Amino acid sequence: MASDAFCFLSLFLSRYPQYASAPFHIAAESWGGHYGPHIAHFIHRMNKESDIANPLAIPKINMTSVILANGLTDPVIQFASIPAYACGSSPYPPFDPNGPECTALARNTPVCTAMIEACYEYPSNLTCSPPTSSCWRNFMGAIISTDRNSYDLRKVCDENSSICYEETIGIEKWLNAPSHKRALGVDMGRDFAMCNMTVNAAFYEHGQAMLNSAALLPELIDAGIRLVVYAGNTDFVCNYMGIEQWMRKLEHIFHPEFGKAPSRRWYTIKSGLLGGEVRTAGQGAGNVTFVQIYDAGHMVSHDQPEAAADMIMRWIKNIPFIP
């Protein structure tokens, strides 16, 4: 995937060289917690190689920042955070801390994290597929057995949609209308789906869900490529606690500053809306920044559009979150 993305971008910039010097930001959400770092790291590596030899005159991609949204990036830390999040630390805890679900989550955590650590140390289908099936079943199965929307604990899951959101039904219907397919040049034999389960299954079967993609980020940060990771605080699937924990553990040139930085409330420029909390290291909006979005789930821009737009605007323009 990373090489394909790089090839596409190189061809695009070769065709439209006027955009080659523009700042390039990679934004990825959910599964993008894995493929975002991989694409960014591949581009960075190819840029370095072009400094040494570039016989085809391929334009360099002006990698500026990586933006990760409610992603799965460091599974061992993120799965280990689920019991605390689900059993008391979430703004809307789905389980009784003394109930059977929390007892089972606590019991399954050491086994799950040990399996993921084996995947980190010896990555292969043999080591990474078992934790994919086991951890997903034992941890995500707990919330799926309730009526809660696992992407937003404030809500009940819409049973008629593929991913709990009623809007997805309309999106699929609109994109699959023959007139719209013709206008977009889409093969009439292909249908759009909000979640392509064939691709999803391939990710799982190859154990890619349990790889440590966070390990690719320090090299980028140390090279001056900025990183912002944000998470809605009502998302169960990729909870904000686990995401912030792996960010605090990450070793890079801004690690000491980020570790000492307080988590501070931030308000939008447009209306003064309390957007959430920010922890940042570096100048402006930060070189390494974590943003917790209040009352938002996995789909932050859907749940809190003003806060999401304010955050992205500040990041792109490098405007501090806290005046």
Instruction: Single out the catalytic residue among 38, 44, 252, 298.
Output: 298
Q: Is 298 a catalytic residue?
A: yes
| Distant-in-sequence, close-in-space partners of 125: CB < 8 Å, separation ≥ 6 | 205, 206, 207
Q: Is 235 a catalytic residue?
A: yes
- The DSSP string of 72-138 is ---HHHHHHTHHHIIIIISSS--S-TTSHHHHHHHHHHHHHHHHHHHHHHS-SHHHHHHHHHHHIII
What is the distance between the alpha carbons of residues 65 and 77, in angstroms, rounded to a whole number? 23
Q: What is the 3-state secondary structure (H, E, C) of 264-314?
A: EEEECCCCCCEEEEEEEECCCCCCEEEEEECCCCCCHHHHCHHHHHHHHHH
Q: Are 269 and 310 spatial neighbours (Cβ–Cβ below 8 Å)? A: yes
Instruction: Single out the catalytic residue among 235, 252, 303, 310.
Output: 235
Q: Is 51 a catalytic residue?
A: no
What is the distance between the alpha carbons of residues 47 and 51, in angstroms, rounded to a whole number? 7
Instruction: Single out the catalytic residue among 10, 25, 30, 65.
Output: 30
Residues composing the chain: 323
Q: What is the 3-state secondary structure (H, E, C) of 201-257?
A: HHHHHCCHHHCCHHHHHHHHHHCCCEEEEEEECCCCCCCHHHHHHHHHHCCCCCHHH
Q: Residue 133 to residues 115, 127, 142, 148: CA-CA distances in angstroms?
A: 11, 11, 14, 22
Show which residues are catalytic.
30, 235, 298
